[in-house]
């Protein structure tokens, strides 16, 4: 791709947000009920290409169970309020009653409470006992510490997630987690991320991960770009990861799933992410807007309460409808923020594709008119 001159001594590629590209219908159309939105990750099949972000404002054990019943997946954060407090609903209700300055201080206090082994086991078991797949996330720094509890609870799918995650980390303090060695020793599928470049995605795929999260600084609560100047517009990030996936497939014969994480608020965004190359999407703010979301009208990322350098903030979200209405409808307005799956089905049907892998072949056009 041609580079644009920034100045005499520096140039860079032009990158695109999802709202700067549009899908071009060029084939026959089909009925929306003939569209298949399912996908498979390792031994697990999902009816919907949606994972809920590992954020306390989005996923509780009850939310994870509800999403599992819809055919999606809810990723519980094992370093959140659910594994630190006996009564997390009371903690979340208190947070919702505070103004922003007070909430910021209280967030740090809440997340200073230690994670407890027995609560990790209890929360995972609660999800599994409901008969749905249990998926949970940890940071690289806490993975080995929490692994005994994860194994005891027999977690189905593990997400190892950081704001920016690499296969190689250099440290002069603690011995860093070697993802390539560690993942290959586990007997459960692992998703890793986030990343935002071809090279980073390829390195993460080579760890043996079943899926890679793509997105850095693109979420509505993230301030990574403002704080440390790091990020990548999501359409280009997904397309780069798609290219890395093809190279990895050519080299190894192993298909690693690309999961777009952040930068999506409407059904149209999800459709564009799939066409850019994503196999599925991870959603935060759109699901936090559900009236029954645990955040109670607020949304924040797990980096928001960081003790020394927060890279996220708490934001108010406008209620859009119940979780069911947000995910699968019926839509309650014309904003594109409810019935997300219905919108995806409509896009696929309008372009004539009957499954997600085929839909990835749809034509894109750059508009450059993103807001």
Mean pLDDT of the chain: 90
Sequence-distant (≥ 6) Cβ neighbours of residue 258 within 8 angstroms: 201, 211, 212, 214, 238, 241, 242, 245, 277, 278, 279
Domain CATH for 220: 3.20.20.70
Model confidence at 352, pLDDT cuts 50, 70, 90, reads very high
Q: How many angstroms from the chain centroid is the CA of residue 271?
A: 15
Domain assignment of residue 344, yes or no: no
Give dist(CA 269, CA 340) in Å, integer.
9
Mean per-residue pLDDT, 69-98: 96
DSSP-derived secondary structure letter, 198: H
In a domain, 174, yes or no: yes
How many Cα neighbours within 13 Å face the side chain of 349?
13
Does some domain include residue 183? yes
Structure confidence by residue, pLDDT tens digits, 160-205: 998 555 555 444 455 567 888 889 889 999 999 989 999 999 999 9
The domain tally of the chain equals 1
Main-chain phi, psi angles of 212, to 5 degrees:
-125, 130
Residue 26, phi-psi category: left (phi > 0), alpha (psi -120 to 50), beta (remainder): alpha
Structure token pair of residue 288: 């936090």
Going by pLDDT thresholds of 50, 70 and 90, the confidence category of residue 311 is low
Is residue 226 in a domain?
Answer: yes
pLDDT (0 to 100) of residue 101: 87
Q: Can you list the positions of beta strands (E) in 243-295? A: 257-261, 280-283
Contacts of 207 (CB under 8 A, 6+ apart): 167, 179, 180, 183, 184, 192
Q: Could you tell me if residue 209 is inside a domain?
A: yes
Range of the domain at 176: 46-318
The reported pLDDT for the residue numbered 170 is 44
pLDDT in tens, 18-53: 999 999 998 789 999 999 999 999 999 999 999 999
pTM summary value: 0.91
């Amino acid at each position: 791709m041609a580079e644009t001159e920034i100045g005499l001594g520096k140039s860079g590629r032009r990158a695109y947000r999802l709202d700067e590209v549009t899908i071009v219908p060029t084939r026959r159309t089909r009925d929306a009920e003939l569209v298949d939105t399912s996908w498979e990750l390792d031994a697990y099949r999902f009816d919907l290409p949606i994972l809920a972000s590992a954020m306390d404002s989005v996923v509780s054990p009850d939310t994870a169970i509800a999403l599992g019943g819809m055919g999606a997946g809810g990723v519980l954060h094992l370093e959140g309020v659910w594994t630190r407090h006996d009564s997390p609903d009371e903690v979340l209700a208190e947070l919702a009653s505070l103004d922003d300055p007070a909430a910021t201080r209280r967030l740090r206090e809440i997340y200073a409470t230690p994670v407890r082994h027995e609560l990790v086991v209890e929360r995972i078991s609660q999800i599994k006992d409901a008969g749905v797949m249990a998926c949970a996330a940890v940071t690289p720094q806490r993975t080995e510490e929490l692994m005994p509890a994860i194994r005891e609870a027999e977690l189905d799918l593990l997400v190892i997630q950081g704001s920016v995650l690499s296969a190689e980390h250099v440290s002069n303090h603690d011995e860093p987690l070697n993802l390539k060695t560690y993942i290959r020793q586990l007997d459960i599928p692992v998703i890793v991320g986030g990343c935002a470049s071809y090279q980073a995605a390829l390195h993460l795929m080579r760890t043996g991960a079943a899926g890679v999260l793509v997105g850095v600084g693109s979420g509505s609560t993230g301030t990574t770009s403002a704080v440390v100047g790091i990020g990548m517009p999501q359409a280009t990030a997904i397309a780069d990861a798609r290219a890395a996936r093809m190279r990895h497939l050519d080299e190894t014969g192993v298909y690693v799933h690309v999961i777009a994480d952040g930068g999506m608020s409407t059904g149209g965004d999800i459709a564009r992410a799939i066409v850019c190359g994503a196999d599925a999407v991870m959603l935060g703010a759109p699901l936090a807007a559900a009236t029954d979301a645990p955040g109670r009208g607020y949304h924040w990322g797990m980096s928001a309460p960081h003790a020394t350098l927060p890279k996220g903030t708490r934001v108010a979200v406008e209620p859009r409808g119940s979780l069911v209405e947000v995910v699968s409808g019926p839509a309650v307005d014309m904003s594109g923020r409810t019935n997300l799956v219905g919108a995806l089905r409509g896009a696929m049907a309008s372009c004539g594709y009957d499954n997600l892998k085929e839909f990835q072949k749809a034509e894109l056009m750059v508009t450059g008119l993103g807001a």
